[in-house]
Amino acid sequence: MVVVSGTSNKEFAKELAKGLGIKYVKSTIHHFPDGELHVKVPGEKIDKLGIIVQSLAYKPNEYLLELLLLADDLRREGAKNVIAVIPYLAYARQDEEFTDGEAVAFLSVAKLLETYCDKIITVDTHLHRFHKISEVFTKAVNVSAMGELGHYLKKKYKSLKSPVVIGPDEESKQWAKQIAEIMGCEYDIFKKVRFSATKVKIKPKEKDLHGRDVIIVDDIISTGGTIISAIKIAKKEGAKRIIVVCSHGLLMNNALKKIKNAGAEIVISTNTVLNVTSKVSAVHPVAEVVK
């Protein structure tokens, strides 16, 4: 059994191999002058299981092709089964034909992956219109890193004043609840309250935030718009310290600076997407379902 990685997140692959107690094999990937990929998994023949780790953040098209070529290469080298560990799965937000003739990329990518891989493991895949990973894949497991984030917060931030975990919308309620249960505190979500045909206010559904420390949680932070709006609402409601956490910190277009300028003390994400906010490892929940 071996773990190999594409070029997107080698650190995750090495940590997973160490946690599973199996060998990490370095792949070699480069481009020909015309842009074509050259992929190779050097070393001895693999006669059982090949695990590929490849996050699809930032360069989803190139990283997806790397993954497929690696999977086919492992099969040629003798692997009986190939597992794709995809810490961040791109295209999940394209989950509906929003306009006539539009490709539902989530379904297309799922078909591609299942053609080459025997099992797919993802972390906090963005499931909006689809509510379970089994509605998209026939052989996939979606694990959550929210528990890891919750334990990190509980250990690191023991001095929070009457903390409350906030989800910016109904969809994020599941994560707010999970982290709050670990921390032993309250949770809430923001909702729209309509006062008239033209006047709408977004505010906490139940909890009073005045004088309290607030943790805002979401699965993905891309450009930061949703989180910045949530920070502004929390501050208007009287929150003191504001901490932002997420599984996948894409943080495009200078989002981190904008979030901090809006009033967040710190932004914490996992290592599904590597950057300066990656303080928490999502390897453990992945390793649990590989075993």
Lowest mean per-residue pLDDT among 51-55, 73-77, 188-192, 256-260:
188-192
Alpha helices in 119-252 (DSSP H): 146-156, 173-183, 225-236
Residue 156 in any domain: the answer is yes
Contact status, residue 165 vs residue 180, Cβ threshold 8 Å:
yes
Give the pLDDT of residue 198: 56
Co-location of 96 and 138 in the same domain:
yes
Phi, psi of 204 (to 5 degrees): -60, 145
Residues 127 and 159 placed together within one structural domain of the fold: no
Mean pLDDT of the chain: 92
- Residue whose structure tokens are 């528990």: 147
Tell me which of 126 and 243 has the higher pLDDT. 243
CATH number at residue 48: 3.40.50.2020
Residue 77 has pLDDT above 80, yes or no: yes
Number of domains in the chain: 2
Report the pLDDT value the prediction gives residue 279, as an integer from 0 to 100.
98
Based on the domain organization, do 108 and 206 belong to the same domain?
Answer: no
Of the two residues 162 and 134, the one the predictor is more confident about is 162
- Interhelix angle for 173-183 vs 146-156, to 10°? 40
The set of catalytic residues is: 192
Q: Are residues 64 and 16 in the same domain?
A: yes
Both tokens of 96, joined, read: 């509906």
How much is the average pLDDT of 42-70? Answer: 91
Q: Is 35 within a domain?
A: yes
In a domain, 110, yes or no: yes
A 10 A CB-CB count for 118 gives: 16
Structure tokens belonging to residue 251: 């943080």
pLDDT tier for residue 93 given thresholds of 50, 70 and 90: confident
Predicted confidence (pLDDT) per residue in 203-248, tens digit = 788 899 999 999 999 999 999 999 999 999 999 999 999 999 999 9
Cα distance between residue 244 and residue 246, in whole Å: 7
> What confidence score (pLDDT) does residue 250 get?
97
pLDDT at residue 127 tops 90: no
Predicted confidence band of residue 98 (pLDDT cuts 50, 70, 90): confident
Is residue 277 a part of any domain in this protein?
A: no
Q: Tens digit of pLDDT for each residue in 141-200?
A: 999 999 999 999 999 999 999 999 999 988 899 999 999 999 999 999 998 665 555 555
Looking at the whole model, is its pTM more than 0.75?
yes
Residues 159 and 231 in one domain: yes
Residue 276 within any structural domain of the chain: no
Q: Does 22 share its domain with 115?
A: yes
Share of the chain above pLDDT 70, in %: 95
Highest mean pLDDT among 23-27, 169-173, 232-236, 281-285: 281-285
| Residues 14 and 141 reside in one and the same domain | yes
Q: Are 91 and 110 in contact (CB under 8 A)?
A: no
The reported pLDDT for the residue numbered 199 is 57
Residues 138, 202 within the same domain: no
233 found inside a domain: yes
Determine the distance from the C-alpha atom of residue 107 to the mean position of all C-alpha atoms in its chain, rounded to a whole number.
18
Strands (E), 112-157: 119-123, 140-143
Asked if 138 and 11 sit in the same domain, the reply is yes
Instruction: Tell me which residue range forms the domain holding 158.
Output: 146-271
In a domain, 238, yes or no: yes
| Short-list 216, 265, 262, 212, CA closest to 237 | 212
105 and 30 part of one domain: yes
Mean local confidence (pLDDT), 46-55 = 90
Asked if the model's pLDDT at residue 60 lies above 70, the reply is yes
Is residue 56 one of the residues assigned to a domain? yes
Helices 146-156, 283-290: axis angle to 10 degrees equals: 140
Q: Is the pLDDT of residue 18 over 80?
A: yes
